Amino acid sequence: MRFLVTGTNRGIGLELTRQLLARGEQVFAACRQPDAAADLQALKDEYGDRLVLVTLDVSDPASIAASYDAVRQHTDALDVLINNAGVSAGSEPLGTVTQEHLLANYRVNAAGPILVAQQFLDLIRAGATKKIVNLTTGISSIASRENGGMYSYTASKAALNMLNKNLSLDVARDGITAIVIDPGWVQTDMGGPNAWITPEESVRGILKVLDGLTLDQSGHFFHYTGSEVPW
């Protein structure tokens, strides 16, 4: 199958790329500076044409449009889009919230995924499995939230959840399944070394959920273990 994955230079995105290639898929791996991404370059050396490196800054509409043109040179269809790219303003206790942090997080975590999905929609329509997977976070669940702080990150991901719900309703007529999924607290640069699970564990779970998705599950909020998360 043909996968487009964003934010692939490190962490979950890099591990998604590794595991998808290992099982025989074609991957379009997008990040801001693929030429400087040593791990991606090593995978390119190993897998050749099955890995296409794509320059993409999801906060820049012009970059999104250019990435579409780059992918379109190699394929006329995509089976799965995985919107993984994201940022965080950190713990952000009350009193430190700024407009700059809020808007930066919204630009990448909320606007980015919906604009990427919108740009690539015709290729996804032409795909075989027609799936869009947006990585969110469990702490964007309003019903489950028990702590303050992290205003920009949690709110931008909650906005992503709503954008995905709207998207799922609009693309249902095309047979496209669109979900949000919590990858868990993962040992990445963003999650930190004290996180509960490794990228390998998280990605195995994400791919298991993705492989089993059906159209009637579109618009839902999943945990990487397969359980559903309350809104």
Q: For residue 230, tell me if it sits in a domain.
A: no
Would you state the pLDDT for residue 188? Answer: 76
CATH number at residue 26: 3.40.50.720
Q: For residue 231, tell me if it sits in a domain.
A: no
pTM of the predicted structure, to 2 decimals: 0.97
Q: For residue 228, tell me if it sits in a domain.
A: no
Give me the number of domains the chain comprises: 1
Count Cβ atoms below 10 Å from residue 176 Cβ, excluding itself.
22
Would you state the pLDDT for residue 194? Answer: 79
Going residue by residue through the chain, which has 231 residues, state the pLDDT in tens, using 9 for 90 and above. Answer: 999 999 999 999 999 999 999 999 999 999 999 999 999 999 999 999 999 999 999 999 999 999 999 999 999 999 999 999 999 999 999 999 999 999 999 999 999 999 999 999 999 999 999 999 999 999 999 999 999 999 999 999 999 999 999 999 999 999 999 999 999 888 877 777 777 789 999 999 999 999 999 999 999 999 999 999 999
Q: Residue 131 corresponds to which amino acid? A: K
DSSP code per residue over the chain = -EEEEES-SSHHHHHHHHHHHHTT-EEEEEES-GGG-HHHHHHHHHHGGGEEEEE--TT-HHHHHHHHHHHHTT-S--SEEEE-------S--TT---HHHHHHHHIIIIIHHHHHHHHTHHHHHTSSS-EEEEE--GGG-TTT------HHHHHHHHHHHHHHHHHHHHHGGGT-EEEEEE--SBSSTTT-TT-SB-HHHHHHHHHHHHHH--GGGTT-EEETTS-B---
Q: For residue 229, tell me if it sits in a domain.
A: no
Question: What is the span of the domain harbouring residue 129?
Answer: 2-223
Instruction: Calculate the alpha carbon distances from 229 to 70, 75, 92, 143, 223 in Å.
Output: 35, 35, 24, 9, 6
Would you state the pLDDT for residue 189? Answer: 72
Q: For residue 83, tell me if it sits in a domain.
A: yes
Would you state the pLDDT for residue 5? Answer: 98
